[in-house]
């Protein structure tokens, strides 16, 4: 939630960020405005956002997806539980917004960003407050970058067609991207690669940028190495599986890259607002991706490679701690970026910035160790957890739900 007039924010933004296109600021501001009520799939706010994105596509000159419409509508069941593999929950209707640049090619590049968010705080909210969750970083930032890429790539003579997709239903379990990827059975072989931007608006002082999926094609790293600016401190991950829409493409053998500027305290809370967006950083991320696309465009059909599945263990978890890990943490252990009230970690008085070193008998050196460790425990288990806080190593007891 935020206060203040839309216009004021745009004007202030325009003055404060001279290097940045006005439209980047406007797009984030409009999409994360209170009046869109958090853009939850199936709500009026989602529809308003979809129309806004479609009108931007039209102004840019993108070709509508089908029958003169930018909308790909669908109705889909959610997963009853987040880690389920089957969709057996409630029925939701929504629409992906799709536009393309037709360069007359046999091959296409997909650039995607989800535009839906948590409404007034759905089951994925990390706040107890009933309030509009604006999702400025998650993921108005990615959609704004998508629109900037559409604007800039429109006039370039590329070898590939470019398909721009604003996905819906990501927050409910990748619904929109799953629908697109699985309704395009014949078209998928013609997709050279897919780029996903999910939460790219909070580049920090250290300029840490996470890029995952680099192992899904041998062409990615060499192309990235030729780009010298903008500079980032990259956190690279080979896996094509992750908690966002690129996974839907990876599972259909499409090479993927996911860009992410990292977790923050406002993640999935009403405070994820436009005031906290680093627009220069967002612009730099979009500029980098644009350069990368132009380099990768020269290759006709990128080779796809399967990667180790970093999140494979997730589905079998019987327990969770109720924390948000710091995915960009480079040190030993698992750094906590946020804790959810009333869950095991919070009950054990673990806090943001604590670093978990040991769970039960298992040493935790990395995110992967943490994932593996979770797979070992059962509901109601009581375990010792060793963690570091301000240089001090502390032992606590955690009881799983
Ligand atoms: Zn997201």
User: Which of 296, 158, 286 lies closest to 216 in space, CA to CA?
Assistant: 296
pLDDT in tens, 322-345: 888 887 777 889 999 888 888 899
User: Which of 348, 283, 328 lies closest to 27 in space, CA to CA?
Assistant: 283
Q: Where are the beta strands (DSSP E) in 116-253?
A: 161-167, 191-197, 208-212, 233-237
Which phi and psi (to 5°) does residue 363 adopt? Answer: -75, 140
Report the separation in Å between the CA atom of 182 and the middle of ligand 1, taken as the mean of its atom positions.
Answer: 20
Report the separation in Å between the CA atom of 323 and the middle of ligand 1, taken as the mean of its atom positions.
Answer: 17
Report the separation in Å between the CA atom of 170 and the middle of ligand 1, taken as the mean of its atom positions.
Answer: 7
Report the separation in Å between the CA atom of 198 and the middle of ligand 1, taken as the mean of its atom positions.
Answer: 5
Q: Which residues have C-beta under 5 Å from ligand 1, the single-atom ion?
A: 138-139, 198
Report the separation in Å between the CA atom of 138 and the middle of ligand 1, taken as the mean of its atom positions.
Answer: 4
If you ran DSSP here, which 8-state letter would residue 332 be given? S
Report the separation in Å between the CA atom of 185 and the middle of ligand 1, taken as the mean of its atom positions.
Answer: 25
Report the separation in Å between the CA atom of 244 and the middle of ligand 1, taken as the mean of its atom positions.
Answer: 7
pLDDT in tens, 6-30: 544 444 444 444 589 999 999 999 9
Which of 58-67, 79-88, 260-269, 270-279 is the least confident region?
A: 79-88
Report the separation in Å between the CA atom of 11 and the middle of ligand 1, taken as the mean of its atom positions.
Answer: 27
Report the separation in Å between the CA atom of 146 and the middle of ligand 1, taken as the mean of its atom positions.
Answer: 14
Report the separation in Å between the CA atom of 200 and the middle of ligand 1, taken as the mean of its atom positions.
Answer: 10
pLDDT reading at 389 higher than 90: yes
Report the separation in Å between the CA atom of 288 and the middle of ligand 1, taken as the mean of its atom positions.
Answer: 20
Report the separation in Å between the CA atom of 309 and the middle of ligand 1, taken as the mean of its atom positions.
Answer: 20
Residue with tokens 């013609």: 190
CATH classification code of 6-296 = 3.40.630.10
Q: Are 97 and 50 in contact (CB under 8 A)?
A: yes
pLDDT at 301: 73
Q: Which residue has the higher pLDDT, 312 or 317?
A: 317
Report the separation in Å between the CA atom of 282 and the middle of ligand 1, taken as the mean of its atom positions.
Answer: 15
Task: Quickly state the pLDDT bin for 1 (edges 50, 70, 90).
Answer: low
pLDDT at 318: 80
If you ran DSSP here, which 8-state letter would residue 61 be given? T
Report the separation in Å between the CA atom of 217 and the middle of ligand 1, taken as the mean of its atom positions.
Answer: 24
Using the CB atoms, write b or e for 119-136: b if 16+ within 10 Å: bbbeeebbbeeebbbbbb
pLDDT in tens, 151-172: 999 999 899 999 999 999 999 8
| CB proximity list for 122: less than 8 A, separation 6 or greater | 40, 171, 172
Catalogue the long-range contacts made by 343-348 (C-beta closer than 8 Å, 24 or more residues apart): 343/401, 344/319, 344/320, 344/398, 344/399, 344/400, 344/401, 345/321, 345/398, 346/322, 347/398, 347/399, 348/385, 348/396, 348/397, 348/398, 348/399
Q: Which residue has the higher pLDDT, 87 or 65?
A: 65
Q: Are 72 and 66 in contact (CB under 8 A)?
A: yes
Task: Quickly state the pLDDT bin for 186 (edges 50, 70, 90).
Answer: low
| Chain centroid offset of residue 208 CA | 15
Report the separation in Å between the CA atom of 243 and the middle of ligand 1, taken as the mean of its atom positions.
Answer: 8
Q: Are 275 and 2 in contact (CB under 8 A)?
A: yes
If you ran DSSP here, which 8-state letter would residue 232 be given? -
The span from the first CA to the last CA of the chain, in angstroms, equals 31
pLDDT reading at 3 higher than 80: no
Q: Where are the domains of the chain?
A: 6-296, 317-399
pLDDT at 98: 96
Q: Which CATH superfamily is domain 317-399 in?
A: PDZ domain (2.30.42.10)
Report the separation in Å between the CA atom of 321 and the middle of ligand 1, taken as the mean of its atom positions.
Answer: 21
Q: What is the CA radius of gyration of the chain?
A: 21
pLDDT at 260: 97
pLDDT at 224: 96
Q: Are 133 and 125 in contact (CB under 8 A)?
A: yes
């Amino acid at each position: 939630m935020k206060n203040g007039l839309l216009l004021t924010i745009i004007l202030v933004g325009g003055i404060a960020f001279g290097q940045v296109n006005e439209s980047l600021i406007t797009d984030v501001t409009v999409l994360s405005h209170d009046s869109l009520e958090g853009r939850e799939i199936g709500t009026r706010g989602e529809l308003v956002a979809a129309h806004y994105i479609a009108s931007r596509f039209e102004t840019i000159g993108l070709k509508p997806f089908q029958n003169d419409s930018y909308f790909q509508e669908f109705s889909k069941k959610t997963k009853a539980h987040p880690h389920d593999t089957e969709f057996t929950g409630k029925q939701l209707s929504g629409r992906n917004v799709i536009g393309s640049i037709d360069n007359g090619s046999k091959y296409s590049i997909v650039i995607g960003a989800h535009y839906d968010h948590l409404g007034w705080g759905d089951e994925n909210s990390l706040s107890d407050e009933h309030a509009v969750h604006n999702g400025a970083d998650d993921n108005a930032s990615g959609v704004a970058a998508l629109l900037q890429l559409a604007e800039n790539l429109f006039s370039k003579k590329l070898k590939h067609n470019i398909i721009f997709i604003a996905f819906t239903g990501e927050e409910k379990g990748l619904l929109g991207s799953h629908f697109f990827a699985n309704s395009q059975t014949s078209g998928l072989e013609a997709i050279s690669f897919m780029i996903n931007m999910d939460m790219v608006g909070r580049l920090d002082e250290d300029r840490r940028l996470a890029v995952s999926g680099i192992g899904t094609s041998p062409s990615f790293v060499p192309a990235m190495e030729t780009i010298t600016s903008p500079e980032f401190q990259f956190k690279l991950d080979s896996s094509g599986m992750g908690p966002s829409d690129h996974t839907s493409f990876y599972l259909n053998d499409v090479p993927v890259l996911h860009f992410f500027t990292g977790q923050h305290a406002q993640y999935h809370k009403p405070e994820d607002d436009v005031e906290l967006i680093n627009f220069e950083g967002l612009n730099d991320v979009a500029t980098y991706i644009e350069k990368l696309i132009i380099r990768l465009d020269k290759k006709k059909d990128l080779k796809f490679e399967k990667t180790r599945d970093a999140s494979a263990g997730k589905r079998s978890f019987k327990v969770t701690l109720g924390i948000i890990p710091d995915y960009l943490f480079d040190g030993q252990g698992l750094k906590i970026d946020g804790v959810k009230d009333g869950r095991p970690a919070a009950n054990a008085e673990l806090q943001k910035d604590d670093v978990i070193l040991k769970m039960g008998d298992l040493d935790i050196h990395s995110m992967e160790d943490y994932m593996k460790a979770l797979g070992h425990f059962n509901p109601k288990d009581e375990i010792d957890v060793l963690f570091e806080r301000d240089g001090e190593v502390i032992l606590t007891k955690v009881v799983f739900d």
